[in-house]
Chains A and B, each alone.
Chain A
């Protein structure tokens, strides 16, 4: 499958009447990469995916697949396949007929189509299930048939629309790894929609976070987790404590003050108009300090770590510490100990 192609959006809009589902979106997926579109429901990620498939046509802007402008092409004319959230297996055809469908309707002979289908069914580990009807398969098997059907034409781009949402938690992890495996083995270009941030971080070369019909931020999983650009992103990807206040910088680094309390942040890059301090619950230590206005309200033991909920003048904080650290009893006044690089300054 050497023909994996890149996908490029240039200032694409999709409007339904007065409402824009996608507003001025530009991004590029390199050939052979797995890129996820992540965002809360209604953010425009599925519409973006359908724009790539050609199931929706852009109201404005340009869409390229490889070197070709496909903006005006319908789904049947694009070299793109899709794995649907509901799998969309044809219930009146058996597994083999489902997978053969693509080659058959594109004019392949029955024999060729069968050979192509058999190969892909082997690839997803469903040899021996050819004669079953979709309704006679488990959810995980149905999902694999859907994948086999989508890759049978060796498309330049493969799309996944929330492929794991109908599977249970254990299976989800395995199928996620299988998809990533298949993608890197065959060198496929994959665009993958999900609303699950953990799933997105785990499988992607690059994550594009959408919010409210625009791209909020794109980057590698670690970029997004460690350097969120907005309050929304800090909160949406992973857990974060968010405090509004003022930043100031000096020779040693930066400090942050809010509600009469000052924190040393160490060396940290301050963006312009920095207004909110964000930090992950597991990147900050706590130590008893009777002078501090912060006090532990309650705690919970969750196996590998201990979660503290701390009362603060602006609300509450969540701090997660490894269980090997000594227990600090409820009611103790504590101060925060920033680990180097833990503080993230976010513009207001």
Chain B
């Protein structure tokens, strides 16, 4: 039935829906009548498969062949049609998408009928659909970037040009270590990343130790501080730093007036970018390390103490070694995040160039050299992948996390006195700095020009951005920022559920089903984790600017970009949640006669609810705040809040930028709280810990 339905849908799409995307509304039939017959065979293929499916299981092999041929022909014509019939390539549209989906669905079902995916059609369809989407919207564009790094502006292969671009002195130079001239962009990026990873981990560790072992009654302030960066657009911290420490900044002015310390531009460059990145990364390190500390069973430390180890010796010989994997993970994450960061270097970098900004200027700047952007993107990608690879190899076998499901009594060891004092002396100034920064953001929108010390209260900035007027035609959003704000909310609201759906389904298929090719599937989705936003941005421009998938300039490309940028988070949350849910729950449902679909709907999804909500919130918030990829993709028609703010910063309109940022932060806080309020937590056990039934498991 489903196969036949797909065929009918494909036929309808062929007859009615516009086949091409942008300007031409002709359907597949319309094109056929004007002499372009090349879409007809694929539709005929879906019809044939739909018919064959009514003839039972025996036709599965035939169906697979026909569907593959139909789809193969579609792809060949889409990319090489100009060589076949000498006409311009078409930008494929919704009609083509429906036909292609029908063929994928039919082919997959035939494949499952033949025994692949353990004959489970639901798993087969889900897996292949996700795979096709990831290949189209992650791997295809990235591959296109990789190839464009090897060609010149005319599009011919040029290895010497590639080599010249790769070895340019402004890429790899290390002159800054021994002379006053600048280093290459790769050197800058790596040094910045390493420092950001190390320092944020150090700070995160201090926070975690204090929260978990410092004998503090109330660690709420730590948790509150750790949520802030998640809802803060990445460059906002940079903005606040400029306001505080820039040449006319508040702190700079105070130091100049009171202590005669001369004004300087030290904040622009490595120090500023580093501080901004460490500020946003420290909370993440804190969460990783606090989790790891919680995972260390107190009885291990008690065991060490009963063996006569002092507090300090216990810390050194038991606690610290058990923490090491988490520390390495935190450093690597800090490194990778720093590499991917675009907003902070853009605002604070000055003449200190890193890969992500240099890529942006190679595309958007005056030099406009996509080939150069491509090669830098390749280097950035290689660096990130290396870090991920290291994490895999290095940490793969070294997880000591001890989640037993048994109640573990015992008290965690308090910190040795010296360590406690040391952590406090690091943590307290840091908290003050953080509060100062958010204070700036809150106040900055309401005063004349905080960057120049003009502190007259005013609503002027909010008025410019968000004025609302009553006219005879009703409410009119007169403020200059409304367009970008509305687009952002809409795009994020559409992208978030899609992200969650794809991410959680991927996790489900990965954790719960074993099939030939599962490892490859896992590898491909994991690899998508590693690609920095800037690379994706460049890749989307390179790949989706031309037929057959011409998407740039549309709102759709923004949604697609967010879905595949944030999907990994859903996958991770899903995998983490699913591995806490014993597989026998699924099996119990199956032995009671439920199909896979029913099991997912009635057992797995309800248990995954917390992970689903977390992913929804995260992907919404992340879509609202991200800059790196979408800054390449926005247009005048579809502008996004962050891109708008970046432009204000570029134009020196700091107060408006700050006002807009604070509004964004408050909006997201409200959304997050509202979701939590309405969805709530469902009671699964009366105990606070996960119900033991779930965690017993392993047989």
Q: Which residues of A contact B (CB under 8 A)?
A: 46, 53-55, 57, 74-76, 78, 80-82, 84-92, 101-102, 105-106, 133-136, 142, 149-150, 153, 161-162, 166
Contact = CB atoms under 8 A, between A and B. Distances in A.
A135 B592 contact: no
Contacts of B591: 53-55, 75-76, 78, 80-82, 150
Contacts of A135: 684-687, 691-693
Contacts of B585: 88, 90
Interface stretch (B272-280, B555-563, B595-603, B622-630): B595-603
Contact of A92 (B118, B593, B684): B684
Interface string B567-585: 0000000000000001011
A233 to B, nearest CB: 24
Most B C-beta atoms less than 10 A away, residue of A53, A90, A91, A102: A91
Contacts of A57: 118
A92 B594 CA distance: 17
A101 B684 contact: no
B129 interface: no
B225 interface: no
A211 to B, nearest CB: 19
A88 B594 contact: no
Nearest to A72: B119
B594 A82 contact: no
B487 interface: no
A92 B699 contact: no
B697 A86 contact: yes
B609 to A, nearest CB: 8
A162 B683 CA distance: 29
20 contacts: A46-B699, A54-B590, A74-B590, A75-B587, A75-B590, A75-B591, A81-B591, A84-B588, A86-B697, A88-B587, A89-B588, A90-B607, A101-B602, A105-B593, A105-B594, A133-B684, A135-B691, A135-B693, A149-B588, A149-B592
B587 A55 contact: yes
Given A46-B699, A92-B682, A134 B693 contact: yes
Given A106-B593, A133-B686, A162-B699, 16 more contacts: A46-B699, A54-B591, A55-B587, A74-B119, A76-B590, A76-B593, A76-B595, A78-B591, A82-B591, A88-B582, A90-B607, A91-B694, A133-B691, A135-B684, A135-B692, A166-B696
The 5 closest A-B pairs by CB, nearest first: A135-B685, A102-B592, A88-B584, A135-B691, A88-B588
A142 B696 CA distance: 13
Q: Which of B582, B589, B592, B598 has the largest number of chain A CB atoms within 10 A?
A: B592
A87 B682 CA distance: 22
B606 interface: yes
Nearest to B695: A86
A91 B693 contact: yes
- Indicate the member of A82, A86, A150 with the most B CB atoms within 10 Å: A86
Contacts of A133: 683-686, 691
A92 B696 contact: no
Contacts of B595: 76
B596 to A, nearest CB: 8
A82 B584 CA distance: 10
Contacts of B687: 135
Nearest to B592: A102
A134 B582 contact: no
Contacts of A74: 119-120, 590
Contacts of B593: 76, 102, 105-106, 153
Contacts of B694: 91
Contacts of B699: 46, 84-86, 161-162
Contacts of B120: 74
B499 to A, nearest CB: 24
B229 to A, nearest CB: 33
Contacts of A46: 699
Nearest to B120: A74
B205 to A, nearest CB: 35
B693 A105 contact: no
A13 B118 CA distance: 17
B592 A86 contact: no
B406 to A, nearest CB: 12
A101 B696 contact: no
A134 B694 CA distance: 10
A59 to B, nearest CB: 12
A46 to B, nearest CB: 7
- Chain B CB count within 10 A is highest, among A53, A55, A80, for A55
Contact of A105 (B119, B598, B691): B598
B30 to A, nearest CB: 46
A149 B694 CA distance: 17
Contacts of A87: 693
A136 B683 CA distance: 12
A46 B698 CA distance: 13
Contacts of B683: 133
Contacts of A166: 696
A162 B598 CA distance: 27
Given A133-B684, A134-B693, A86 B589 contact: no
A80 B582 CA distance: 20
A105 B603 CA distance: 11
B691 A134 contact: yes
A46 B687 CA distance: 31
B684 A82 contact: no
B693 A101 contact: no
Contacts of A162: 699
Contact of B592 (A85, A92, A153, A161): A153
Nearest to B682: A92
Contacts of A106: 592-593
A84 B587 contact: yes
B584 to A, nearest CB: 4
Contacts of B590: 54-55, 74-76
A81 B592 CA distance: 6
Interface in B460-508: none
Contacts of B685: 91, 133-136
Interface string B667-695: 00000000000000011111100011110
A260 B602 CA distance: 71
B606 A92 contact: yes
A133 B558 CA distance: 44
Contacts of A161: 699
Contact of B691 (A54, A91, A150): A91
Nearest to A86: B696
A149 to B, nearest CB: 7
A82 B588 contact: yes
Interface string B53-64: 000000000000
Nearest to B590: A75
Contacts of A88: 582, 584-585, 587-588, 693
A92 B694 CA distance: 10
Which of B118, B602, B682, B683 is most buried by chain A, counting CB atoms within 10 A of its CB? Answer: B602
Contacts of A82: 587-588, 591
Nearest to B694: A91
A76 B696 CA distance: 24
Nearest to A152: B592
* B120, B697, B699 — most chain A CB neighbours (10 Å): B699
A89 B589 CA distance: 10
B582 A86 contact: yes
Contacts of A89: 588, 693
Interface in B296-348: none
A135 B686 CA distance: 7
A85 to B, nearest CB: 5
A150 B584 CA distance: 13
Given A76-B595, A133-B684, A135-B685, A105 B587 contact: no
A84 B699 CA distance: 9
Nearest to B588: A88
Contacts of A91: 607, 684-685, 691, 693-694
A46 B691 CA distance: 25
Contacts of A134: 685, 691, 693
A106 B603 CA distance: 15
